[in-house]
Amino acid sequence: MSAQIIDGKAIAQKVRSGLAEEVAALQAKTGVQPHLAAVLVGDDPASAVYVRNKQRACEQTGIGSTLHRLPAETTQDELLQLVHQLNNDETVHGILCQLPLPEQIDELAILDAVTPLKDVDAFHPENVGLIVQGRPRFLPCTPHGVQQMLIESGTEIAGKHAVVLGRSEIVGKPMALLLMQKGAAANATVTVCHSRTQNLAEITRTADILIAAIGKPEFVTAEMVKPGATVIDVGTNRVGEKKLVGDVAFDDVKEVAGAISPVPGGVGPMTITMLLKNTLLAARLAAGE
Ligand code: GUN
């Protein structure tokens, strides 16, 4: 039997309508319109598309946004100066520096410079620390989006074995943290697998929830998946000119899994939605709400 398809686009639309109402209510009560400042350095076409999608989503939800586009040869000092300016701008509630940054710029130095109260990506060490301690301020966008997809698909999480493929700072590590936490939509037993993991398929086959975030096109095959498991595909791999594929061999795995998210139309729209949620929260914190 073919798996339930977890439609990230549809779930994202539903969450965004709720957010639009909350944004309007905050503005009516306090006069504050949440505002996201996006910083894009260089001309990586994929990054430009991601940032444009984020701005469109802001517009759709009534959140203001400004794009700061800087040339590829921007120096670290110039970028730091912009970050400081945005930190001090009371009309800006969220700051997003689109990654990757050009190689002459130390990414960590930039992410560390964003004031934690405007760090809607949840990349600042203070916000990461709060997540580790189970008392988050902002939740990391992609892992939070995945968690919402698990909830919406009716996947049981507590006590289940969740296997996270990939240990990146943006997805794998914080994903594991969210699922192992005490609390709702959590309490899973979590295993993190990575490029040095031995007997990978043996481990993935024991997963009730399998989350793939390794950036390898169609790496997860049907033989690696336990029948009935929920499979969430975080991968966005460009093959050829236009085609986008995930980390999961969707057509084969959907015949084994109980539920599966597609690429595109899966995690991507949810990541953006959680960014909007964080921007609203940042505006609330600034407004003392
Ligand atoms: N590049 C790829 N994913 C992300 C993300 O979630 N946030 C930012 N700022 N850059 C990214």
Q: For residue 67, list its beta bridge partners.
A: 38
For the Cβ of 99 lying below 6 angstroms from any atom of ligand 1, the answer is yes
Domains of the chain: 31-115 (3.40.50.10860), 141-268 (3.40.50.720)
Q: Per residue in 179-205, pLDDT tens?
A: 999 999 999 999 999 999 999 999 999
Going from the Cα of 227 to the center of ligand 1, the distance in angstroms, rounded, reads 32
Q: Is 77 exposed, middle or buried (0-12, 13-18, 19+ CB in 10 A)?
A: exposed
Reported pTM = 0.98
For the Cβ of 96 lying below 6 angstroms from any atom of ligand 1, the answer is yes
For the Cβ of 247 lying below 6 angstroms from any atom of ligand 1, the answer is no
Q: Per residue in 68-101, pLDDT tens?
A: 999 999 999 999 999 999 999 999 999 999 999 9
Q: Per residue in 132-162, pLDDT tens?
A: 999 999 999 999 999 999 999 999 999 999 9
Q: Please give the single-letter amino acid code of residue 193.
A: C
- From 50, 96, 272, give the residue whose CB has the most ligand 1 atoms within 8 Å, as the site to mutate: 50
Q: Please give the single-letter amino acid code of residue 165.
A: L
For the Cβ of 97 lying below 6 angstroms from any atom of ligand 1, the answer is yes
Q: Whose CA is nearest to atom 9 of ligand 1?
A: 98
Going from the Cα of 256 to the center of ligand 1, the distance in angstroms, rounded, reads 31
Rounded to the nearest 10 degrees, what angle do helices 267-287 and 45-61 cross at? 60
Atom in ligand 1 nearest the alpha carbon of residue 271: 6
Long-range contacts at 53-62 (CB < 8 A, ≥ 24 apart): 53/268, 53/272, 54/96, 54/272, 54/275, 57/16, 57/272, 57/273, 57/275, 57/276, 58/276, 58/279, 60/16, 60/20, 61/16, 61/19, 61/20, 61/23, 61/276, 62/20, 62/23, 62/24, 62/27, 62/33
Q: Per residue in 221-279, pLDDT tens?
A: 999 999 999 999 999 999 988 899 999 999 999 999 999 999 999 999 999 999 999 99
For residue 189, report the phi and psi dihedrals to the nearest 5 degrees.
Answer: -90, 120
Report CA 204 to chain centroid distance, whole Å. Answer: 22
Report the helix count and the strand count for the chain, using DSSP H and E. Answer: 10, 11
Q: What is the DSSP letter of 223?
A: G
